[in-house]
Amino acid sequence: MKLTTHYLFTIGLVALIACPILPLSGALVVAIWLGVATNWIVDMVGHEDRDGAARRTAATHSLPGAAGVGLVLGVLPVALVALFAPTALIAAGVQLSEVPFIALLMGALGILAGLSHLLLDALTEGGIYHRGRRWAIAHWRYDCAAANMPFALLGLLMLACAMVGL
């Protein structure tokens, strides 16, 4: 799928899951961070040039690869703020005893972001890697508008539902 579709779908999905747990503003920041950063890294690191054409690699287009990228991008900001700016957490009303829970939540949301990327890529002809083999649910072209548009709109719908509390 197109990178914009990945962004919209993941932002909507993460926001929908995070909103019941976090304040709306925090859920949106987390959703945007994980939606953009995770998908960008999975695609930028996870492609190689083979005979002039980009091809997905197992480094990030596999279950452990995508989940690992999401986990790191979820936990790393929490760890960095807790280590280098703990007063910022306190100023935001976060108790230091809550940091492990926040890191766990961010890690889980990051894993979800990484796996959402794989779901969409599994629908394309390039597929994903599973147990060392390429695997695909469908075989749409990555740039097929008829495939990208419904998932981009679903992402926007999930985001709207998250924002209104559904």
Give the tens place of pLDDT for each residue, 56-104.
Answer: 888 999 999 999 999 999 999 999 999 999 998 888 888 889 999 999 9
pTM over 0.75: yes
Q: Is the pLDDT of residue 6 over 90?
A: yes
- Separation between Cα atoms, residue 155 and residue 16, nearest integer Å: 9
Q: In degrees, to the nearest 5, what angle opens at C-alpha 57 toward C-alphas 79 and 44?
A: 55
Domain ranges of the chain: 3-164
Q: Which of 31-35, 67-71, 98-102, 150-154 has the lowest mean pLDDT?
A: 98-102
Residue 142 CB partners (closer than 8 Å, separation 6+): 1, 2, 121, 124, 125, 126
In the prediction, which pLDDT does 53 show? Answer: 79
Residue 36 CB partners (closer than 8 Å, separation 6+): 7, 11
C-alpha torsion 149→151→18→74, nearest 10: -100
pLDDT, tens only, 110-139: 999 999 999 999 999 989 999 989 999 999
List Cα–Cα distances, 165 to 2, 14, 108, 160, in angstroms.
Answer: 28, 14, 21, 9
